[in-house]
Structure 1
Amino acid sequence: MNISTGNFTTPAASTNSTTDIRLLESLEMCAYSICFLFGLPTHSYIIWLIVTGTGSGVASEFFNLNLSVCEIGNSINAVFGLLSHFSSLFKILTDFVQGLSITGRPLFQCLMCVERYLAVVHPVTFLKYKPLRYRVICCTAVWIITLGSCLFCIFSASVNREAYVWFFSTVFLLYFSIQLFCLVAVLRALKQSGPGERGREREEKKNMKKRAFFLILLTTVNMIIQNVPFTITGLYIILTKQEINDYWFPAFVCYVLTGFLQPFLYLQRTGKLFCLCSS
């Protein structure tokens, strides 16, 4: 995400001192560096694990694979963000790749939540659409939507900043609604036992439901931390008609940090977390 100042009018009284601006730019560049230095190798490692057959295989981890590809794009965009301080060309590239941040990552997270929801609440439907071709269709649709989002970001970020702020504030509500629905549905399913279930079978299914609920809950909380600060900041800027870099920075830090939850969960599940740390 780009936190550079937009085209809103800023009152003279709110102008930052030179020292504050330099401090903020230093912190921003530090956040970009963390995103690139930790994000790129981690997600590259995950892609390598999935492609080489570690874990459940490419078919079962196809959404995770696409999410990691998207996160690599976000990591590269962090480099563009650093270079945009020195050249306006990289500012254009940063605006374009922001579509991955606003649309790509959240949509793939939503697909993973819907998949877990179907596995718990509608297992017959889940088995019907479990083949890889259906996952490929869903991911292709997400990439097309993400490309449209990239094109919209490069246009609105420079031409109509207010439309850009409204855009990512609105789509967050959609993503959050989908994940909240999955969370509540799985929670209701946890309280119910299927007909004919007894003994060990009931206990195994209960454990599967609890695990799915825990993963959806973590992803939902992660998405709240990831997008709510941006949404609140965006709505505040729209209402007050002023934009200062200080307002965006806390939301930007939240976005960078929440990007490491999904790879952490995958590495922990496959038993490769400590291998990565030791390396």
Structure 2
Amino acid sequence: MAMKVVYLNSSILHIQMLTNTTPAQQTVFESCKDMPAGFLFYLCLQFINLSLGIPANVMVLWLIHKNKGDSSTSDIFILHLAILDILFCLMPPLELVNLMYLATGHIWSTLSFVYGVKDCSLLFLSCICLDRYMAVRHPILFAELKDRQHRKVCALAMWALTLAYAVTRCVDTVPNFEKVFIVMILAAFAFMVFCNISILWALSQSGPGRDEMHPVKKRAFKMVLIILAIIVFNYLPPVALFPFKQYFVPDVFRCYIHYFAFGFMDISSSIQPMLYLSKEKLNASLCVKCKGSCCGGKAAQEVST
């Protein structure tokens, strides 16, 4: 009897026992029954995504559609990210069946594809960070490129990469394909942290002849700091743990580390739309106070939205 263990860059673990006759399949619940805390923690976060993430992302889509005449340059990436997250947030019931009751190939393939798509949400997040970085650090070039179609082309390119990654993950024919995810998340995490720290540094600089930060810059600084904290909260666990998989006891990694790390990463599908909605509420209150006039620098306004 031989055992084949397949890991996905999602939160799913498939264990298939291969025999000379009929294959017997074992669920994650059965294989981790002595260490259930990891995947139970993960399932709790997934059902938070189901109950909170879907309505929050639908609200984001509605607000972007409603305010399309006065949208920020990052909204096209936020829109596609919301669509991706809605697809992901629909999966917890099917995943619960797979983890605890069934381990069939059809369910496995469906979840494999969806979680491959979710893995690539980092691409859209990186585009959002790059757009805001350009707005603050290179405002002249940003203004020249603002009204061009390159963001739509970039979004289409991100979807092409996402679908290619998800299909490759689903068919599972590339050896050691999980290393692609590790490289991608390390590169995206470093890039997003760099962009946000650069924005924070630029916003912290006072204008000529001023000793204090402008109030609008101060609000933008706080918002970017919150965004950076959320990025670290969601993505530092997998970044810090997955490259060192070989140093963990296999059962500990399979039943604990795997699910805890992906739990923090996947809850971003609820946290990110809630952050966007909170910013929209803040921007609306500022517009009321300013009676529709521009209250500050354009770069700070782009960052705050």
Q: Per the shorter chain, which TM-score range? A: 0.7 to 0.9
CA shift, 1:112, in A, is 1.3
Mapping of residues 167-246 of structure 1, within 5 Å: 167-192=180-205, 206-240=214-248, 242=250, 243-246=253-256
1:225 and 1:254 in contact (8 A); partners too = yes
In the alignment, the residues of structure 2 paired with residue 141 and residue 178 of structure 1 have an alpha-carbon distance, to the nearest angstrom, of 18
The residue identity in structure 1 corresponding to 2:244 is: Y
Listed one character per residue, the Cα deviations across residues 109-147 of structure 1 (whole Å, up to 9, x for unaligned) are 111111111111111111122126222111111111111
d(CA) in 2 for partners of 1:261, 1:64: 13
Aligned residue for 2:123? 107
Q: 1:55 to 1:223 in 2, by over 3 A?
A: farther
The structure with more radius of gyration: 2
What is the DSSP-based 3-state SS (H/G/I as helix, E as strand, rest coil) of the residue aligned with 1:127? helix
- The correspondence of residues 145-184 of structure 1 with structure 2, limited to 5 A, is 145-156=161-172, 160=175, 162-164=176-178, 166-184=179-197
Match of residue 75 from structure 1: 89
In structure 1, distance between residues paired with 2:246 and 2:168? 19
Q: 2:268 aligns with which of 255, 258, 265?
A: 258
Shift of 1:75: 0.9
> Counterparts in 2 of 1:35-54, with a 5 A limit?
35-53=49-67
**Residues 96, 153 of structure 1: 8 Å contact kept:** yes
Are residues 66 and 21 of structure 1, via their aligned partners in 2, closer, same or farther at CA, if it must alter by over 3 Å?
same
**Residues 159 and 80 (structure 1), Cα distance of their counterparts in 2 relative to 1, 3 Å cut:** farther
**Structure with higher strand content:** 2
Say if 2:117 and 2:162, in contact at 8 Å, map to a contact too: yes
User: What SS does the corresponding residue of 1:74 show, helix, strand or coil?
Assistant: helix
Please list every run of 5 or more consecutive structure 2 residues that lacks an aligned counterpart in the other structure. Answer: 1-9, 17-29, 283-305
Contact 1:32 1:82 in 2 (8 A): no
More deviation, 183-192/171-180: 183-192
**TM-score, normalized by length of structure 2?**
0.71
1:106, 1:223 within 8 Å by CA — same for their partners in 2? no
Match of 1:97 in 2: 114
Using the TM superposition, give the Cα deviation of residue 69 of structure 1 relative to its aligned residue in structure 2, in angstroms. Answer: 0.7
1:30 maps to: 44
Q: How far, CA to CA, are the matches of 2:209 and 2:174 in structure 1?
A: 62
Could you say what the CA RMSD is over the residues aligned between the two structures, in angstroms?
Answer: 3.3
Structure 1 residues 78 and 268: alpha-carbon distance in aligned structure 2, compared to 1, 3 A threshold: same
TM-score normalized with structure 1 length: 0.76
Deviations, residues 94-113 of structure 1 (Å, cap 9, x unaligned):
1111222211x212111111
1:192 to partner: Cα distance: 4.0
Q: Is the 8 A contact 2:74 2:132 kept in 1?
A: no
**Partner Cα distance (1:257, 1:61) in 2:** 21
Q: Which has the higher helix share?
A: 1
1:4 counterpart residue number: 13
Q: Distance in 2 between matches of 1:60 and 1:22?
A: 40
Give the counterpart of 1:84 among 98, 101, 107: 98
- Aligned equivalent of 1:130: 146
Against the structure 1 CA distance between its residues 61 and 99, is the aligned structure 2 distance closer, same or farther, given a 3 Å change threshold?
same
Task: State the SS of the aligned residue for 2:12.
Answer: coil
In structure 2, do the counterparts of structure 1 residues 219 and 151 end up closer, same or farther at CA, with 3 Å as the change threshold?
farther
Q: In the alignment, is the contact (CA less than 8 A) between 1:107 and 1:175 conserved in 2?
A: yes
Cα deviation, residue 38, structure 1: 1.6
Provide closer, same or farther for how the CA distance between residues 25 and 114 of structure 1 changes in structure 2, counting only shifts above 3 A.
Answer: closer
Q: Partners in 1 of 2:205 and 2:37 — Cα distance?
A: 54
**1:74–1:101 Cα contact (<8 Å) kept:** yes
Given that 2:38 and 2:257 are in contact with CA atoms closer than 8 Å, whether structure 1 keeps it comes out as no
Secondary structure of 2:232 counterpart: helix
The 8 Å contact of residues 67 and 108 in structure 1, kept in 2 or not, is answered as yes
Paired letter, 1:148:
A
Distance in 1 between residues matched to 2:96 and 2:278, nearest whole Å:
31
Quick check: 57-66 or 142-151, which moved more?
57-66
Whether the 8 Å contact between 1:3 and 1:245 is mirrored in structure 2 is: no
Q: % of aligned pairs identical?
A: 25
Change (3 A) 1:21 1:254: same
